Structure 1
Amino acid sequence: MPQIRPLPASLQRTAIEELNEVPERLDADIAALRTWIEQQPHLRARRDDQFLVAFLRGCKFSLEKAKSKLERYYTLRTQFPDFYTIRDVDSERIHELLRLGVGLRLPRPLHDDGPRLIYVRPGCYAPDSFSFEEIMSVSHALSALSLEFDDYAIVHGWLLILDFSGYTPAHLMQMTPSALQKMSVFAEDAMPVRDKGRHMINTNAAFEVGFNMMRSILPAKQQGRISVHGSNLESLYPHIPQRYLPTHLGGEQGTIEELKQLMWATFQEQREYLRSEADYGVDDKLRPAGQRYDYNSIFGVDGSFRRLNFD
């Protein structure tokens, strides 16, 4: 038997019906992915059953797709560690960022057994104090915890609510084309979690400028997942009923302070797991010839535009 958490009945049903999971074959599927990892001289990846089944479920049990995502997941994290990882989990600066609560995981998934809801506040930090790269390093580190510990995110994906209250031109100036491309490529090519949509609320003029820039970079598939509601939350409710929002938006998911405390508690509980992330990555010097990934040629330099294309 694989060493993984048993899924609640509703999630197990979805895994079978939508993700092509065959419980009787789970051991063999995990073993096949682990064997492939062991045969890659350059790849230092986690090999525990729970981590590997996250990639298999996120790739609908396509072994080849799971291999590709694992490869790119660790390649990107190794090539751009300041954007995708927390280098020092004991850093007071990182702790200060965590306590700000830029990205907050809501306790109840949509409809109680659907996608994980993530409430993001892009305007809640001081852009003269923190870089966008620092914001994203914390965001990606917390996302990595979902792969190991959040079955709702793995089976159903996640649904983002981005609240642009307090968003300023100074925040926008940090949002370079290169940063947007790094976010887009990682979400599409590396993370085995389905993006079920992004709902923008309380948008303003600074957001409009940034959104127009973002649309020029993102592929059509990702653009189609974005909905802009402005300050009209009534248009949000058909997608996310009000009770699934935080308290200050009229919902039942807790106050901002409660959500920040919950996230801090999660970080404290999983600090050693995040510390161990430094043990994993790729060594390009050991990578077989013809298998190199040159992401610098995709991302370019900050301030340049290159359109991304995905299948």
Structure 2
Amino acid sequence: MDLLQYKSPMVFYTEDEIKGILDSHGIKVEQLFDYIKIIKDWLKTQPHIPLEPSDRQIAYFLLMNKFSIENTKLKLDMNYTIKGLIPDYYNKPPSHPDIQRTLKFAHWGLLPNLTKKLNRVLVWRLVNAEDLDVTLLFSSYCFLFELKTILDFNKSDEIVFDMSYFPLSVVAKFNPMDVKRILTILEKVYSNRIAAFHFVKLPTHAQSLIKLVKMFLKPKIRERMIFHDDYDTLHDYFDVDQLPKEFNGNGKSLAEIHEQTKKIIMDHEDHLTKVFSARVNEDLRPTKLTNDDLLGFYGNFKQLDFD
């Protein structure tokens, strides 16, 4: 269990929760080490991959891919490949002034404890719409997605979007390509298993953004979009002691959660800078990338066509 020991109070889980997560997949700890060895042996045959993931990171990718060896290989490969396919999401370190400015646009972060269903909860609320840059906003989220692969262990993710402040001027800033790219990163790279998207106090003018998001979601994920008129109905899904104060909960405030998020990102700046700057050497890839309906031919990210 030492391999999976939690490293941060912000991303907390217990040994019993680890056991519950593994049991839900019919996996014993001993089997996990066997799977990790298979992946490590495979990595030795992939000279194009620039960095060697840790055993801990491999364990996370195995979990998010339901312990499918082949899917884990694909996602680990794509975790490095994507940095060259969408470089504008990965070209600035956390300390870059643009990123530091971007971190002021919204309060967001992970709730420290898992839910009773062993899910990790991410909360989000826009706080400043002036000069919002969505590309940079999504780029900053990639820091947290990356850190989850070395720090977290959970069954699925649930994301709560507090839309109480979301002015009309912001809607147009979320262009289709950025929405497509961030959802692609979630699915094709980090393999985040989404148990639910919760939208609270969604304004009428944001319905067009929801329609855009639905365009790029699989049908089964669309069915996991839950809409709340107020914060109280969130209590039907989450423990009141876990929810932020702004959601009528007893947990930390969104501002406190966000400050902890910034701290954990900055504490891991060296790691994030190293990983984000690494690029796959396509000349060394044993087998060319295959055509993908989202990423395009041989990894060239496709443009969107709209009627």
For the aligned pair, the TM-score class normalised by the smaller chain equals: 0.7 to 0.9
Q: How many residues align?
A: 297
Match of 1:147 in 2: 149
Sort the Cα spacing of 1:293 and 1:282 in 2 relative to 1 into closer, same or farther, 3 A.
Answer: farther
CA displacement at 1:2 relative to structure 2: 7.5
Q: 284, 287, 297: which one pairs with 1:286? A: 284
Match of 2:127 in 1: 124
Are 1:91 and 2:96 counterparts?
yes
Gaps of 5+ in 2: 7-12
Match of 1:136 in 2: 138
TM-score (norm 2): 0.86
Q: 246, 260, 263: which one pairs with 1:262? A: 260
CA displacement at 1:193 relative to structure 2: 3.1
Gaps of 5+ in 1: 307-311
Q: Deviations over 1:271-299 (max 9, x none)?
A: 22212213534222322354345625696
Match of 2:111 in 1: 106
| Percent of residue pairs bearing the same amino acid type | 19
Sort the Cα spacing of 1:89 and 1:159 in 2 relative to 1 into closer, same or farther, 3 A.
Answer: same
Q: Distance in 1 between matches of 2:44 and 2:131?
A: 42
TM-score (norm 1): 0.85
Are 1:9 and 2:8 counterparts?
no
Sort the Cα spacing of 1:289 and 1:149 in 2 relative to 1 into closer, same or farther, 3 A.
Answer: closer
Are 1:32 and 2:38 counterparts?
yes
CA displacement at 1:144 relative to structure 2: 0.8
Residue 215 of structure 1 aligns to a residue whose secondary structure is helix
Q: CA RMSD of the aligned region, Å?
A: 2.5
Residue 43 of structure 1 aligns to a residue whose secondary structure is coil
Q: Distance in 2 between matches of 1:261 and 1:9?
A: 27
Q: Distance in 1 between matches of 2:288 and 2:112?
A: 44
Q: Deviations over 1:115-139 (max 9, x none)?
A: 1111112x3232x523211000000
Q: Distance in 2 between matches of 1:189 and 1:278?
A: 16
Q: 64, 69, 80: which one pairs with 2:70? A: 64
Contact kept, 8 Å, 1:58 with 1:193, in 2: the verdict is yes
Residue 172 of structure 2 aligns to a residue whose secondary structure is helix
Q: Distance in 2 between matches of 1:177 and 1:257?
A: 29
Aligned residue identity for 1:9 = E
Q: Distance in 2 between matches of 1:261 and 1:289?
A: 43
